[in-house]
Chain A
Amino acid sequence: MPAESLFSIRDFSVEYHTRGGDVRAVDDVSFEIRRGEILGLVGESACGKSTLGKGLMRLHRVPARITGGELLFDGRDLMTLDEDEMRMVRGGEIGMVFQDPMTSLNPVQRIIEHLTETILSHESKTTEEEAKKRAGELAEKLGIRAERLKEYPHQMSGGMRQRVMISLALALRAKLVIADEPTTSLDVIVEAKFLDLLRELRQEFGLTILLITHNIGVVAEVADRVAVMYAARMVEIGDVRSIFADPKHPYTRGLLRSVPNIQLNDAELYKMEGAPPSLLHPPTGCRFHPRCPSVMPICGEVNPPMGTVGKDQQAACWLYLEHPQKAEVKHD
């Protein structure tokens, strides 16, 4: 189905200012999130996934800063909003779920206070009674019993807290939830329940979810589309089935082959050569070329743009793109 775009990101870059120099943690990334989908964003640690997630809400703080790009959310460019308008967008239209549920709730506030405060800080007209009632209803939908709302975060398990985090994002009917590694610190059973919950919520609230994770299995489980990041750049994006069936970018191929599987024996588990590059001094051209099994001379010189490589699948790789230099360099 030709889904409508909810959030369109154009040439988005985020830099960290460090002693060693400026580090581009997100480098000219462009993609779009479609209304009602679950988009999985995968990549190795430190490839810029979380920075991208926070950057989309303009949550970054010194020493990080957004150096360029457009964030077209529901027809508005978030980059042009002032801090006060942005505050209303956060929570109100985009919610976020963090990696570690153990530390992402205020330890001295009761659960119910978290919820009512979120509602009240966005809707000044709502009374506290109404807010409490709404919070109770919402919590019940998410499987949090009413009496548990009076508890403090430390009295709840990780899975429960993650539900609370989601309910915070949903308290104001956010259209998009950015979930930053939401299941990393949960055990597999809680994780499975949580993923079920995500799917249900999408059905019930028409939610759009950006699921940032390094767990390929989670993406395969719930995502509609997958975006793969490598060294601050997006290398491949597309329908989850096509990408898992036929990954185009050599990095995606390597990534999928390195996922442990019970049917493989030890020797067959693929280990990618080399290590991710330092973002302080990234390689020229395609950032994956020093590790790429099918490297070509052009790869070290020109950065490949995103190109369509299949039905609803795009990749940034010279293998599938034409370039005047490509042939030229090849002949040398």
Chain B
Amino acid sequence: MSSTEEKTPNSKSESWKIDLQQAGFVRRLFQARKWYGADWWFVAISTAMVMGFIFVALFPGMLAPYNFDQIVGTSFLAPGEYPDLPVLITRSDSTIKTLRDLAGPDNTEPSKVGVIQGSPSAVAVNEQSQQVDAQLVSENSGLRLRPRLQRFVTAKELLDAVNSGQVPVGVTNLSEFNLLAADYPNLHSGSSITSETATAGGFALGTNDVGQDVFSRLIWGTRVAIIVGFSSSIISLLLGLPLGLLAGYFGGTFDRLLSLVMDSLYAFPGLILAIAITAVLGPSIYNVIVAIAVLYIPTYYRIVRGQTLQVKEEVYIEAARSIGAKRSEILWKYIYPNVIPSIAIIFSVNVADAILTGAGLSFLGLGMPPTIADWGIDLARGQRFIQSAWWLITFPGIAIMVVVLAFTMMGEGLMEIFNPKLRER
């Protein structure tokens, strides 16, 4: 290729003729699929997944419908199940939408509300009315809400009364109304009187034992998983990389002592060591990060040291010495950049491992404090109800699996592309 072509890329050339030297970085990444094939798709898909998870972790408030510790419905609602809350039953043409619409001036006759004798909805009407009333008084609106309850024995009697206009409004649980709704085409179930958040559509992934939204907790839990995964991996990298470089480059007693320490750390079964550390430090997100970071320092140390030993023997290191490069220069400009590619790959796999270990610690009750939304905690809480509420452990479990899979796939794919030799070892 002549030099003139190099300077003025021909924009008309066909796509397969594009010279990668002149193509932009993004286009080169895209073109790379042609010779990396399946590995490229592996990396592309998993990177998209990882990016997605990071996005979710950054903006959980935007994506989750509720806060993670908010009690939003009755407990143990299955995915998509309607919350069985007390609702207002009115005729379709009624203007009454909420309890507050029943309020009237102080001196007027209080409006009647039909309820079923001894049902929880009757209690709920009383409690809610008092709350609304107190609010009206504090607002000085001149209105009061002191409904007179008219009790019926069965739901059918109540609905008949509402239908005939004997009472303007009735309150029953949604499930009771739904059973008979077909017989009363004129009647209509309104909003819940107890909770403003309970929606007609139910909860996408159900609710847990205390009535928190499983989906929201899943979203908020992503934040903890990503924070733990990345911070602990970065800390181990920051410690393991320089130690490995120095030990590999200088060798000698320093190397032997350090390798002994690292090998003893490595010899511990991972989770046991993390359990020991967090058991001493106590449950907190910082302690979990520290425990996992300690766990993975030897991984980085060993790989960096091995690579350093290998790179150190390359001719270009000797050539660097022959032109009088300083030791620090050789370490920083010759060895370090040649060691880094293998580290970038290990890092991704390591994040997956760290997330798994973090969830494991929380599951055992040693990780996060229970006030934090975390998949491990959700799993631990859900496993007590495994026979009645499958959704409590299924969704956090799938979340952990998918995150770990995405990071591992990205790491393995990158390894295949950048460093195929590393895998053989």
A103:B316 contact, CB within 8 angstroms: yes
Interface residues of A, count at CB 8 A? 31
A59:B318 contact, CB within 8 angstroms: yes
CB contact under 8 A between A108 and B337, given known A87-B324, A91-B324 = yes
Q: Is A47 an interface residue (CB 8 A)?
A: no
A104:B324 contact, CB within 8 angstroms: no
B322:A57 contact, CB within 8 angstroms: yes
| Residue on A nearest B340 in the bound complex, by CB | A108
B320:A106 contact, CB within 8 angstroms: yes
How far, in Å, is B324 (CB) from chain A's closest CB?
3
A165:B3 contact, CB within 8 angstroms: no
8 Å CB contact of B325 from A100, A117, A145: A117
How far, in Å, is B223 (CB) from chain A's closest CB?
36
B322:A91 contact, CB within 8 angstroms: yes
Chain B 315-355 per-residue mask, 1 if CB under 8 angstroms from chain A, else 0: 11011111111100100011001100000000000000000
B333:A109 contact, CB within 8 angstroms: yes
A106:B334 contact, CB within 8 angstroms: yes
A90:B333 contact, CB within 8 angstroms: no
| Residue on A nearest B337 in the bound complex, by CB | A108
Q: Is B314 an interface residue (CB 8 A)?
A: yes
Complex alpha-carbon distance, A82 and B329, angstroms: 18
Residue picked from B3, B314, B319, B334, most chain A C-beta under 10 Å? B319
Q: Is B263 an interface residue (CB 8 A)?
A: no
How far, in Å, is A33 (CB) from chain B's closest CB?
17
Q: Is B106 an interface residue (CB 8 A)?
A: no
Residues of A within 8 A of B320 (CB): 106
Give the residues from 57 to 115 in chain A that come closer than 8 angstroms, CB to CB, to chain B: 57, 59, 87-92, 95-96, 98-100, 103-109
How far, in Å, is A127 (CB) from chain B's closest CB?
18
Q: Is A118 an interface residue (CB 8 A)?
A: yes
CB contact under 8 A between A95 and B326, given known A103-B316, A105-B316, A108-B338 = no
Q: Is A129 an interface residue (CB 8 A)?
A: no
A90:B316 contact, CB within 8 angstroms: no
Complex alpha-carbon distance, A88 and B332, angstroms: 19
Residues of B within 8 A of A147 (CB): 3, 6
CB contact under 8 A between A122 and B329, given known A103-B315, A105-B316, A106-B334 = no
A117:B324 contact, CB within 8 angstroms: no
How far, in Å, is B19 (CB) from chain A's closest CB?
13
B323:A91 contact, CB within 8 angstroms: yes
Residues of A within 8 A of B3 (CB): 145, 147
Complex alpha-carbon distance, A59 and B323, angstroms: 10
Interface residues of B, count at CB 8 A? 19
Complex alpha-carbon distance, A169 and B323, angstroms: 7
Chain B 1-29 per-residue mask, 1 if CB under 8 angstroms from chain A, else 0: 00100100000000000000000000000
How far, in Å, is B423 (CB) from chain A's closest CB?
20
8 Å CB contact of A90 from B6, B315, B323, B329: B323
How far, in Å, is A104 (CB) from chain B's closest CB?
4
Give the residues from 213 to 245 in chain A that come closer than 8 angstroms, CB to CB, to chain B: none
Q: Is A14 an interface residue (CB 8 A)?
A: no
Complex alpha-carbon distance, A57 and B3, angstroms: 40
| Residue on B nearest A87 in the bound complex, by CB | B324
Residue picked from B316, B322, B325, B337, most chain A C-beta under 10 Å? B322
How far, in Å, is A96 (CB) from chain B's closest CB?
4
Residues of B within 8 A of A103 (CB): 314-316
B323:A118 contact, CB within 8 angstroms: yes
CB contact under 8 A between A98 and B326, given known A90-B321, A107-B338 = no
Q: Is A168 an interface residue (CB 8 A)?
A: yes
How far, in Å, is A328 (CB) from chain B's closest CB?
49
Complex alpha-carbon distance, A196 and B325, angstroms: 29
Complex alpha-carbon distance, A171 and B315, angstroms: 19
How far, in Å, is A40 (CB) from chain B's closest CB?
20
Chain B residues engaging chain A, CB cutoff 8 angstroms: 3, 6, 314-316, 318-326, 329, 333-334, 337-338
* A-B contacts besides A59-B318, A92-B324, A103-B315, 4 pairs, CB < 8 Å: A88-B324, A118-B324, A121-B326, A122-B324
Chain A residues engaging chain B, CB cutoff 8 angstroms: 54, 57, 59, 87-92, 95-96, 98-100, 103-109, 117-118, 121-122, 145, 147, 165, 168-169, 171
- Give me 11 A-to-B residue pairs in the complex whose CB atoms sit less than 8 angstroms apart, sorted by A's number: A59-B318, A87-B326, A88-B324, A90-B324, A95-B323, A104-B319, A108-B338, A109-B334, A118-B323, A145-B3, A147-B6
